[in-house]
Every structure is written in structure tokens, then in C-alpha cells.
Structure 1
Amino acid sequence: TSYPLVAVVSNSMEHNSLDFDDWWQNSEEYYSSIGIAKNSFENFPLKNGFNKGDIMILWRANSNNIKRGDVIVFISARTNPKPDPIIHRVIIIEEKDGSIIYQTKGDNHITNRRQINGCFQDGCIYESDIQQSQILGKTLFKVPYLGYIKIWFVDLLNLFIK
């Protein structure tokens, strides 16, 4: 992958300091509605989410190695994407017109109660129609908090640029 690591810049995958059982109690309705049971989610990589400021180490991602429950990094839309890649969990994989299509969702039960599909001031996100060409990598593991160095640096630069 051309992106071997990325810094997490949003809280969309945070579990808000809840242990897994408490987080699941808040998230169960959505995941159950798409056929993901608690015992399945417990076996997903990064089952406890991750936080803004973490660094994610990525690996090549393709239709042979992406599974339901994996966390992928992707370009948010094919046209007018948001400037930063999105880091979310794969919840559905399906075939559509001969291509594999991925659907994702952030774990945060407060900010991401449902999938995000639409356009905003800074670009579009379509979590229910992600093609292989949009995927930058699949997460292998996280390094907590190290990403804050990048976040603080970019915030500082933006103060001088604006």
C-alpha cells in the first residue's frame, strides 16, 4: 500500500471509554439488524475500537483478504471525496454488477448511529458503496496516541496558512 500508516483524526471509531459489554449494549440493535451477533463482533480485529490520535499500521487490501469485521482505510467517495481518508469497519461485503462492494460503519455509537451517505461542505462520504479502487489498506494494528504528533503539527500549520 502507498499508505503504510495513517493517523486517526476523528472519533468515529471510539467506544467512548466503555468496556466491550457496555459498548455492545448501546450498539447491539444496529449490528443485530444486519446479522452481526455479539460473539461474532468479539472476534473482529480491533473489537474495542480505537481513538483519535492513534496510528494505524496498514497492509495491502484486496477482495481476497478483506473480511466482514476488518477495519479498512478508504477514499470516502469516487467524486468529491473528503480530504482525509476514512477508517471504518467493514460490515457488509456483496457482489454488484460483477464487482465486490464494501459497506462500512464507524463503531462510535454516539456519532455513527447509522452509516454515513451524503455530501458535506468538505466533501462526500458514501459508506454503502465502496469499490476496491477506493481502498488504501487494511489495518494490521494500532499504535496508541502517536498520531497526535501529526494532528498537532497540521493544526499548527493551519493556523499560519489561514
Structure 2
Amino acid sequence: MSKKRNNRKNKKKNQKELEDTSKSKYHLTKEILSYVLIIVIAVILSAHLNVVVSGSMEPSFYRGDIVAIENVHTYYGMQEFDPYNDIKINDVVVYDAQWYPEPVIHRVIDINEINGSKYYTIKGDNNEVEDPYLVSPEQIRAKVITIGDNLLIIPKIGYITLWFRGL
């Protein structure tokens, strides 16, 4: 009798250990998947946020603010908007300027057609004059997202990035 009882106890013990191992693997898999999801979300968000480095767009947004953007080309192969057709006067765009080494975030104030090609006149809200050169659609990298008539901005958090970059 005691031998049968020991076998049953051992069987229950082994079954319990197997269940515990299975639960542990399930929880570990769940935890790993949650970390992967967080990393994927962070990568996607980082591609859609841009830190403002100057005061040229005040009072629309300020140095150190972060603006949410939609990209012309994402590094995962999507085109979120077309710089030839989806830009209107008053849109705020991020573009590669001929006159400044970093991308510039300014407002489109006019759309021009020269010899059959489209060009944008762009100006910072806080600047007295427009940017020195017309901007072609090929120079535009992104457009600041608006909700209604409001730009999507996260205030002041970008100062951390500016501090690390020494700007």
C-alpha cells in the first residue's frame, strides 16, 4: 500500500512541477512579447517625433518642444503623405534647407509653379522674412500633424535631447 501511495504522491508531484514549468514558460513568453511590443512602439514613435531646436516658429511652438510628424518616407517603407499633392498653405513642414545643415521646421506661406515645377515659399512664424530659397517637394521630409487647426505638440520634453546634443 505504501508503495502505491508513494507512486501516486510522486506522480502528483511530477505533474505539479510540470504545470509550474509550463506556467513559468508562459509567463516568460508573455513578458518577452510585452518588451518586444514596447520596443516596436518606441521605434515607431521615435520616427514620428521631431525636437524643435530654435525659436523661429514661436509662438506656434518653442525651442525644446516636440512636434508629431508624418513622414514622406519611413524607414519601414511607407509613404505617409505626398509632398507634391498633400501640402497646403499654412502647413508646417520639415525640410532639408540649402542654407542650414539641420532639417528646418517652418510654415508654407505660398505655393509657386515655375516652368511646370512646384515650389514652396516657407517662413518661420517668428522670422521677419521668408527662408532664402524656394523649396522643392523633394526637399520635404515630413509634415507636422494637426488636429483641427492645432499643431500636435509635446511641450518642453525635447530639452533633454537638446542638452545631450549640446544645442
TM-score bin, normalised by smaller chain: 0.5 to 0.7
One-letter identity of the residue aligned with 2:135: I
Q: Distance in 2 between matches of 1:91 and 1:147?
A: 26
Following TM superposition, by how much is the alpha carbon of 1:3 offset from its aligned partner in structure 2, in angstroms?
5.0
Task: State which of 113, 131, 141 in structure 2 corresponds to 1:116.
Answer: 131
Q: Deviations along 1:37-78, whole A, 9 cap, x unmatched?
A: xxxxxxxxxxxx11000111111342221100000000111x
- Which residue does the alignment assign to 2:103? 85
Find the residue that maps to 1:130 and give its secondary structure.
coil
**Is 1:135 aligned to residue 144 of structure 2?**
no
**Is 1:72 aligned to residue 93 of structure 2?**
yes
Q: Distance in 2 between matches of 1:97 and 1:58?
A: 30
**Is 1:51 aligned to residue 95 of structure 2?**
no
- Superposed CA RMSD in Å reads 1.8
* TM-score when normalising by structure 1: 0.61
Q: Please say if residues 64 and 162 of structure 2, whose CA atoms lie closer than 8 Å, have aligned partners that are also in contact.
A: yes
| Alpha carbons of structure 1 residues 115 and 3: separation in structure 2 relative to 1, 3 Å | farther
Q: Distance in 2 between matches of 1:90 and 1:116?
A: 10
Q: Distance in 2 between matches of 1:56 and 1:99?
A: 29
Matched residues, number: 106
Q: Radius of gyration: which is bigger?
A: 2
One-letter identity of the residue aligned with 1:148: Y
Find the residue that maps to 1:66 and give its secondary structure.
coil
Runs of 4+ in structure 1 deviating by more than 4 angstroms, as ranges, are none
One-letter identity of the residue aligned with 2:96: I
- Which segments of 5 or more consecutive residues in structure 1 lack a partner in the other structure? 16-48, 118-125
Q: Please say if residues 121 and 131 of structure 2, whose CA atoms lie closer than 8 Å, have aligned partners that are also in contact.
A: no
One-letter identity of the residue aligned with 1:116: D
* TM-score when normalising by structure 2: 0.59
The alignment-based identity, stated in percent, is 42
Q: Distance in 2 between matches of 1:88 and 1:3?
A: 19
Following TM superposition, by how much is the alpha carbon of 1:103 offset from its aligned partner in structure 2, in angstroms?
0.6
Decide which structure has greater helix share: 2
Q: Distance in 1 between matches of 2:136 and 2:97?
A: 10
One-letter identity of the residue aligned with 1:152: W
